[in-house]
Amino acid sequence: MQSIGIDQFDAVIDNTGNPQIIQKAYKISKPQGKVILVGVPKAGNETSIYTLPLHFGKTIKGSYGGGTKPNEDIARYFTLFNEGQLSLKPLVTNTYTLHNINEAIADMRSGAAAGRCLIEMNTGK
């Protein structure tokens, strides 16, 4: 794997909420880069950053639910899906049956199932 140098990226998005990853994201963004935090650290987990770059244009911002309006957006997504304008298949990386839920959880914890997993709720009827 190629080594990542410091100050390379215009924008870095962290989805983990891991304080060490947040610090790394901040370090590898350009001097006037953006760091967007999607993941939320567990209560009590803090991160430490050198704040001087913030005075010269670097930004760090947390997202709030991705900026969606569920009461409007879910109905819109449902309509787009029913009209064939929105495919959900690319969003699903792994599929499990309810019977294999423990396998799904283990795969997600180990990283073997990266992305969005679908649990089929087939009752056998």
In sequence order, what are the beta bridge partners of 12?
Answer: 35
* Amino acid symbol at 71: N
pLDDT recorded at residue 26: 95
For residue 124, the enclosing domain spans 87-125
Q: Is the pTM of this model over 0.75?
A: no
In the chain, which stretches have pLDDT less than 50?
1
Tokens representing residue 110 in the block: 């180990």
73 within domain boundaries: no
Where helices occur in 64-100 by DSSP H, the ranges are 70-82
CA–CA distance, 27 with 112 (Å, rounded to integer): 28
User: 3-state class of 32 per DSSP?
Assistant: strand
Same domain, 62 and 20: yes
CB 53 within 8 A of CB 29: no
Same domain, 61 and 23: yes
pLDDT in tens, 89-124: 888 889 999 999 999 989 888 888 877 888 888 766
pLDDT recorded at residue 31: 93
Same domain, 60 and 104: no
76 within domain boundaries: no
78 within domain boundaries: no
CA–CA distance, 77 with 98 (Å, rounded to integer): 25
Same domain, 97 and 51: no
CB 75 within 8 A of CB 50: no
| Neighbouring residues of 57: CB distance < 8 A, sequence distance ≥ 6 | 31, 32
